[in-house]
Amino acid sequence: MELTFENNIPIYIQLLDYLKIYLISGVFKPGEKLPSVREFATTFKVNPNTMQKALSELENKNLIYTERTNGKYVTNNKELIEKLKDEYAVTLAKSYFQGMKRIGLGKAESIKYLEGIDE
């Protein structure tokens, strides 16, 4: 899992984004044990302190939790993950419509374009 980063956005925010996608898409499943900060940092080739910061943010949102001696786990609360997915989808949709608006296309027209695209 090699990630790429933009230098103009805080690295921990970009990491947080990648981690959210992993949770939403089930790369890490509810209740599953996560790699250690060190392992994560090595795999993603980031500074361990930055990795720690991204994981703390996830923990603040209750998406992961720490078992005192055992490490970090994905929440068992599937609803939280669903909610995350929903929020993420809304963000993607908004950015699509914003892009279309910039070239003068309204919502209805934009949806037509979506329907015209084969996956």
Partner 1 sequence: MELLEIKDLSKKYENKYALKNINLKLSSGKIIGLLGKNGAGKSTLIKLINDLLTPTDGEILIKGNKVGVESKKIISYLPERTYLNKQMRVNEVLNYFEDFYDDFDIQKAKRLLKDLDLDDNQKLSKMSKGMQEKVQLVLVMSRNADLYILDEPLGGVDPATRDYILDTILSNFNENASVIISTHLISDIERILDEVVFIDKGEIALQSDTDELREKENASIDEIFRRMFKC
CA distance 4 to 31: 27
- Per-residue binder mask for partner 1 (CB under 8 A), 40-69, x = binder: -xx--xxxxxx--x----------------
**Listed ranges 2-10, 64-72, 74-82, 108-116: which one lies at the site for partner 1 (CB under 8 A):** 2-10
81 binds partner 1 (CB under 8 A): no
- Nearer to partner 1 among residue 45 and residue 112 (C-beta): 45
- Amino acid code (one letter) for 99: G
Nearest distance in Å: CB 13, partner 1: 8
